Amino acid sequence: MASRRYEDLGIGSKAAEARVRLLNRDGSFNVRRKGLPFFSWFSGYHYLISIPWWKFNLMILIAYIAINALFGAVYTAIGLSGLAGIDGHTLPEQYLQAVFFSTQTFTTVGFGRIAPVGTAANTAAALESLTGLLCFAFATGLVYGRFSRPIAKIIFSRSALIAPYENITGFMFRVANQRSNQLIDVSATVTLSRAETNGAGHRTRKFYPLELERPSVTFFHLSWTVVHPIDQNSPLFGVTKEQLDESEAEFLILLKGFDDVFSQTVHTRTSYKSKEVLYGHRFKGIIRTGSDGMTEIDLDKIHDYERVV
């Protein structure tokens, strides 16, 4: 079937001459997108659930200060008479007290030592407390969005290896789950991308899905060495290290699995450029049986390999 031999991956073969890698090690794509209309709010949401917690909390603090500085200015503009209980003598003192009143309104703590009087200040306070509640609904949504976003933390071996495997040769890399939660029904997809020169002398980039010895595992609580056997049907058959480099080969990896904690499917991506592929090496074992008969895995050694004699 045609789609087995030449899978497009959404990349036209005209995009072939790219000299940088298509997919970064962290799974992001090396693509520049032009003509996108504008920075939509969605990207904002995506951004806010992706940043680290310290950054998220810092942004909330900054927004909190900004909102209160603004509402403090509004109350100051309305004037001293709008806030019963205020006792500052200078304008800066009054502004500062208005800011503190604003924080009490925005968070709905409402001590009442300072309280709005008159239509203008009461209207401003009514709007501010509503704004506070909506911002808080927003923050709650974001916090839960951050919580409920399942992210697989898969460790990929730094190098992929090409080495004798059973009776033939195999292309292989090793993966393990960094987290303590379980991944189930994990499957791998490996695609070889390389530049080829066609009959007309035109150099285009082609994509070949690589058959795997085992495309999926039911459980994934230890490490998994994903193997593509280089038999006669493999596009890697007879390819030397030099040819691999010359063709700017890149191996695109997609791992899918079902996350036990979130009950959702998770994905992770990475790639190996030809310079990250080593010939004639195999992975060192990282699983052993402890003295108490229990299975042990040492994730520190997942990248370790050794020369095949």
Q: How far is the CB of 277 from its own copies (least distance, A)?
A: 20
Q: Decide whether 179 or 243 has the Cβ nearer to its own copies.
A: 179
Q: 53-78 vs 91-106: helix axis angle to the nearest 10? A: 120
What residues numbered 186-245 form the site for its own copies, per CB under 8 A?
186, 189, 191, 213-215, 217-225
210 strand-pairing partners: 190
Tokens, residue 302: 């997942």
* Distance in angstroms (rounded) separating the CA atoms of residues 187 and 258: 10
Element (H, E) at 129: helix 118-147
**Residues between 31 and 60 with contacts to its own copies, criterion CB under 8 A:** 31-37, 40-43, 45-46, 49-50, 53, 57, 60
Q: Provide, rounded to whole angstroms, the least separation between the CB of residue 241 and its own copies.
A: 22
Tell me which residues in 110-129 interact with its own copies (CB under 8 A): 110-113, 115-117, 119, 122-123, 125-126, 129
Q: Which residue has the tokens 């994990």?
A: 186
304 binds its own copies (CB under 8 A): no
Restricting to residues 283-302, which ones interact with its own copies according to CB under 8 A? Answer: 285, 287-290, 292-301
Nearest to 278 by CA among 302, 244, 246: 244
Nearest distance in Å: CB 65, its own copies: 9
The residue (of 51 and 142) whose beta carbon lies closer to its own copies is 142
> How many angstroms separate the Cα of 66 from the Cα of each of 30, 63, 99, 184?
36, 5, 10, 46
Residue with tokens 């997809």: 189
Q: How far apart are CA 282 and CA 304, in angstroms?
A: 9
Segment lying near its own copies (by CB under 8 A), choices 73-81, 157-165, 175-183, 274-282: 175-183
6 CA to centre of own chain: 28
Tell me how many residues contact its own copies (CB under 8 A).
Answer: 131
Shortest CB 151 distance to its own copies, Å: 8
Query: Residue 180 CB, nearest distance to its own copies (Å)?
Result: 6
| For its own copies, the closer CB: 45 or 281 | 45
For the CB of residue 160, give the shortest distance to its own copies in the complex, in Å. Answer: 17
Comparing CB distances to its own copies, the nearer of 154 and 277 is 154
Cα gap 97→24, rounded to integer Å: 52
User: Using the rule CB under 8 A, is 17 a contact of its own copies?
Assistant: yes
In the complex, minimum distance from the CB of residue 81 to its own copies, in angstroms, rounded to a whole number:
14
Of 68 and 277, nearer to its own copies (C-beta) is: 68
Closer CB to its own copies, residue 176 or residue 277? 176
Copy the structure tokens of residue 236: 């890697």
In whole angstroms, the minimum distance from the beta carbon of 94 to its own copies comes to: 13
Choose, by CB under 8 A, the member of 51, 59, 159, 260 that binds its own copies. 260
Establish how many alpha carbons lie within 13 A of residue 139's alpha carbon, considering only the half-sphere containing its beta carbon.
Answer: 16
Question: Distance between CA 141 and CA 41 in Å, rounded?
Answer: 14
Query: CA–CA separation, 26 vs 40, rounded Å?
Result: 24
Q: Which residues pair with 55 in a beta bridge?
A: none
Q: Cα–chain-centroid distance for residue 279?
A: 30
By CB under 8 A, residue 18 contacts its own copies: yes
